[in-house]
A and B are shown apart, each in its own frame.
Chain A
Amino acid sequence: MYISYTISGRSEMVTRGISGFEGVSLSSHDSGSATLLSVRNLRTYFHVGGHPVKAVDGVSFDVGVGTTLGIVGESGSGKTVLSRSIMGINTAGNATTTGSVQYNGSELIGKTRRELRHFWGEEMAMVFQDPMTSLNPVVRIGRQLTEHLRAHKNMSKAEAEEVAIQLLTWVRIPEPKQRLANYPHQMSGGMRQRVCIAIALACSPQLLFADEPTTALDVTVQHQILNLLSQQQVERKMAMVLVTHDLGVVATRTDEIAVIYAGKIVEKAPTASLFSEMRHPYTQSLFWSIPKTSEPKHTRLSAIIGRPPNLAALPVGCSFADRCPYVQPICREVEPDLQSDGGHAFACHLPVGSAAADVALSENAAAGLAQSQSAAARRESNAGVSS
């Protein structure tokens, strides 16, 4: 049986190679909180036309009780498939999931849907991106809210309704009693998402997956929903995995962030340390490509050139090599392992900030590689601002 142990976030220990099943846990959440979810070497492949599409390819992380992990990635990076694989709700018939997902000590991979049912809702729940399609349009809100309660907790109709009213009050829906009779189309997008959160919270799960919970919503509503989620999380001591494409959303609301690219975690660190010291070139490029309100107008953005690789035909070596400003021949030959420097893990041969990376960047820029020239210019202007 697999045993996971935690390295303290401040440890100077450097571990290499977690590809083996018996690898070292890369958790860096506060050693004070016990591990609730432990994912090891998770792989989800979709078999399409003879070639496996490697949507999730060897992902490992831990989530501690009551903590929040942010998973950041662009479309097609595998972040949604990852959370669905952990929950065991990948419905596609051509998908195979291997590896280990331990929830509170029990292994979830290999369990049947019937067995997993005991975990869904009661132990772990999910809030999806689109509140319109995740609610049933022809069933009243009341029934959708009480469904779990009656199935899992054997409540009577009246009891379940009382709890449902309480839930709607928690998520700040006015006139909750009247709202139970509403259909989803009678509510605004923000209200529907709050109903989805209420449904997810109904059976008091220990772990909540929020998959782009605010992407379809306006900024002011997004702010409300995220506040609501953090408030409920603190009150319930619930752990949360916040999946998003937006570094801004995870910046202030997570304990730890994992950046995912082409199905793999490329960098994982406590939130403050990720932002203060980005080690993977992809994380840095992603951060630089975001327009910020703190920058003056017409600030030239550093776009990442090219496109993410095809998950069915990944290149040899590092998947980011073709778009990377620091790329060296080794990057196209050997795939970098996720290595941990204290609590900060990254998968790169030439991590940002290392002497080798500085040399590689100036060499590439001199050789005329466009992304390196733009990255070098950006670094210079950043240095100018800070000095």
Chain B
Amino acid sequence: MAGSGTAHLRDNDDMVLRVEGLTVEFPAKGGNVVHAVSGISFDVMRGETLGVVGESGCGKSTTGRALLQLPPPTGGSVKLNGEELTALSRSAMTARRTDIQMIFQDPISSLNPRRTIGKIVAEPLDVWGPKAEDEQWKLVSEMLDAVGIDPGGAKYKRPHEYSVGQCQRISIARALVMEPKVIICDEPVSSLDVSVQAQILNMLEDLKAKYGLTLVFIAHDLAVVKNISDRVAVMYLGKMCEISESDELYARPAHPYTRLLMDSHPEPNPDAVIDDEVVLGGEIPSPISPPSGCRFRTRCEFADERCASEEPQMAMVSDGHFVACHHPLVEVQA
């Protein structure tokens, strides 16, 4: 997979986010470099939800944070509504963050336990919004209402008085209060029970329609990603393997890694056929010294010499479906 290339980028005036060659590297011990994200490209249209799926360590969260310049990427370009974010000064970027907000995985630790809900949700307004308390409260209560938290009771309560699911609703309200254009959701439902997860996913769909949001939805659960996304990008070890409209991706996975993920996903269906072979050596390599060529080749059953020497480029499978692989499972167009 380890794919590079930009064949899958679309030419459209309605692009909210356009990311090209995004690279994030971190220094490691002994002068080594952690190649967390290595040259990935994607775009997100207005009102679209892009799902990013991959295993831990594939760089999906780093990608989400790099969009917000937290920290700024080592290389590549991130354009929000045509404006290059990587070129902005620190203070200009702070102002731009009103347009691009983030929701984190663990709602308990992302809310300050010592502050009241009223203050937590109003905090972004302290920086960029109206300063008068009654004006702030008007906006805050409207947002709390939108996420299903009773504003009357919430003003003076603190996070510990709420359940995990409710805390996640509160952190969504905090992200929404700036009326952002894009929300990066980093595993927003993975610490929740399935019944609560369904409530939050439905709510995100409703809020998206109501406020015309564009979402980047990062998660490891294939079914969750399929449910909420219009398009899905599959990442592996800092590279993008495959990107496609979601129903098409799940119906016809083209990358061997995408298929591995799908075969591993436990569907609640007792008739599902499971591959019960105990596979050896299924460990993800270290991002400090990623494999040459295609980064997935060490775990890929189709890998050959070409995969070790030459990095696959994004190629079109069908309209809107692209894969970076020398041995794709479905035929690609030349």
Please tell me which stretch of B76-84, B112-120, B271-279 contacts chain A, meaning at least 4 of its Cβ atoms lie within 8 angstroms of it.
Answer: B271-279
Chain A residues positioned under 8 Å from B246 (CB to CB): 297
Q: Which of A269-297 contact B (CB under 8 A)?
A: 271-272, 274-276, 285-287, 289-297
Q: A227-B278, A291-B223, A297-B227 are in contact. Are A220 and B269 (CB under 8 A)?
A: no
Decide: A251 near B198, CB < 8 A? Known: A220-B261, A291-B227, A292-B223: no
Q: By the criterion CB–CB under 8 Å, are B195 and A74 in contact?
A: yes
Residue of B193, B223, B246 with most chain A CB atoms under a 10 A cut-off: B193
Q: Which residues of A contact B270 (CB under 8 A)?
A: 251-252, 271-272, 274-276
A298 within 8 A of B: yes
Interchain CA distance A304-B229 in the complex, whole Å = 22
Q: How far is the CB of B170 from chain A (nearest CB, A)?
A: 15
Which chain A residue lies CB-closest to B268?
A247
Contact B227 A304 (CB under 8 A): no
The yes or no answer to B283 lying at the interface (CB within 8 A) is yes
24 contacts between A and B (CB under 8 A): A74-B194, A74-B195, A172-B280, A190-B283, A219-B222, A220-B282, A223-B274, A228-B278, A230-B276, A251-B266, A251-B267, A274-B270, A275-B268, A275-B270, A276-B270, A285-B195, A286-B194, A289-B197, A292-B223, A292-B268, A296-B247, A299-B227, A301-B201, A305-B199
Against B, the Cβ 8 Å flags (1 = close, 0 = not) of A230-269 are 1100000000000001111101110000000000000000
Are B272 and A251 in touch, CB under 8 angstroms? yes
Min CB distance A46 to B, Å, is 20
Contact A292 B276, beta carbon cutoff 8 Å = no
Please, how many angstroms separate the alpha-carbon atoms of A199 and B178 in the complex? 52
- Distance (Å) between the CB of B155 and the closest chain A CB? 21
Closest A residue to B227 using CB positions: A291
- Least CB distance, B230 to chain A, in whole angstroms: 7
Partner of B281, one of A74, A174, A253, A307: A174
Verify if A188 is at the interface (C-beta below 8 Å from B): yes
Interface residues of B in 197-225 (CB under 8 A from A): 197-199, 201-202, 205, 220-224
Interface: B263 (CB within 8 A): yes
Residue ID in chain B nearest A257 by CB atoms: B270
A348→B155 CA distance, assembly (Å):
40
Inter-chain contacts of B205 with A (CB < 8 A): 298, 300
Docked Cα-Cα span, A38 to B29, in Å, equals 54
B266 near A298 with CB under 8 A, answer no
For A189, the closest partner residue in chain B by CB is B56
The residue from A226, A286, A303 contacting B199, defined by CB atoms under 8 A apart? A303
- Inter-chain contacts of A90 with B (CB < 8 A): none
* Residues of B219-249 contacting chain A, CB below 8 A: 220-224, 226-230, 246-247
List 4 tightest A-B contacts by C-beta distance, closest first: A248-B266, A303-B198, A304-B195, A291-B227
Q: Are A297 and B262 CB-contacts (below 8 A) given A74-B194, A218-B56, A252-B270? A: no
Contacts of B318 in A (CB 8 A): none
Interface residues of B (CB under 8 A from A): 55-56, 163, 165, 193-199, 201-202, 205, 220-224, 226-230, 246-247, 250, 260-270, 272, 274-284
**Which residue of B has the minimal Cβ distance to A272?**
B270
B267 pairs with A293, CB closer than 8 A: yes
> Hey, which chain A residues are within 8 Å of B202, CB to CB?
300-301, 303
Contact assessment for A219 and B220 in the assembled complex, using a CB-CB cutoff below 8 Å: yes
Q: How many Å from the CB of B105 to the closest CB on chain A? A: 14
Contact status A304-B272, CB under 8 Å: no
Q: Quick one: which of B198, B224, B266 contacts A302, CB cutoff 8 A?
A: B198
Beta-carbon contact of A75 and B282 below 8 Å: no
Interface size on A, residues (CB 8 A): 53
- A53 adjacent to chain B (CB < 8 Å): no
Known pairs A246-B194, A304-B198 / 11 extra A-B pairs, C-beta < 8 Å: A172-B278, A219-B266, A224-B278, A248-B265, A252-B266, A252-B270, A293-B223, A293-B267, A295-B226, A298-B205, A298-B228
How close is B222's CB to chain A, nearest CB, in angstroms?
A: 6
Smallest CB–CB gap between A326 and chain B, Å? 16
Using CB atoms and an 8 Å cutoff, list the residues of chain A in contact with chain B: 74-75, 172, 174, 188, 190-191, 218-224, 226-228, 230-231, 245-249, 251-253, 271-272, 274-276, 285-287, 289-305, 307
**A251 in contact with B278 (CB, 8 Å):** no
Q: Contacts A223-B263, A301-B198; is A290 near B268 (CB within 8 Å)?
A: yes
| A292 CA / B228 CA spacing, docked (Å) | 11
Q: Do residues B268 and A74 form an inter-chain contact, with CB atoms below 8 A?
A: no
Contact B267 A74 (CB under 8 A): no
B265, A301: Cβ atoms closer than 8 Å: no
| Partner pick for B193 among A75, A231, A252, A276, CB 8 A cutoff | A75
A224 in contact with B282 (CB, 8 Å): yes
CA distance A55 to B183 in the complex (A): 39
Q: Is the CB of B55 within 8 A of A227?
A: no
The 8 Å CB contact of A227, one of B165, B228, B230, B276, is: B276
Question: Which residue on A lies nearest to B279, using beta carbons?
Answer: A224
A285 to B277, CA, bound (A): 33
> Residues of A contacting B196 with CB < 8 Å?
303
Contact call B272/A252, Cβ cutoff below 8 A: yes
Whether A293 pairs with B265 at a CB distance below 8 angstroms is: yes
**Contact between chains at B282 and A293 (CB < 8 Å):** no
Contact (Cβ within 8 A) B266 A246: yes
* Contact present for B282 and A290 (CB under 8 Å): no
A286: min CB distance to chain B, Å? 7
| Least CB separation from B262: chain A residue | A293
Q: How far is the CA of A384 from the CA of B282 in the complex (A)?
A: 41
Tell me if B55 and A219 are in contact (CB < 8 A).
yes
Query: How far is A248 from B267 in the complex, measured between Cα atoms in Å?
Result: 5
Residues of B within 8 A of A299 (CB): 227
With both chains docked as a complex, state the minimum distance between the C-beta of B190 and any C-beta of chain A, in angstroms.
10
Which A residue's beta carbon lies closest to that of B248?
A297
Closest chain A residue to B193, Cβ basis: A74
List A contacts of B275 (CB < 8 A): 223
A156 CB to nearest chain B CB (Å): 31
| A289-B198, A298-B228, A304-B198 known; A252+B278 contact, CB < 8 A | no
Q: Smallest CB-CB separation from B189: which chain A residue?
A: A291
Measured between C-beta atoms, what is the minimum distance from A251 to chain B in Å? 5
Q: Which residues of B contact A188 (CB under 8 A)?
A: 283
**Given B226, B277, B283, which contacts A191 in the complex, CB threshold below 8 Å?**
B283
Measured CB to CB, the closest approach of chain B to A334, in angstroms, equals: 25
**A289 x B195 contact (CB < 8 A):** yes
- Select the residue from A224, A230, A275 with max chain B CB neighbours within 10 A: A224
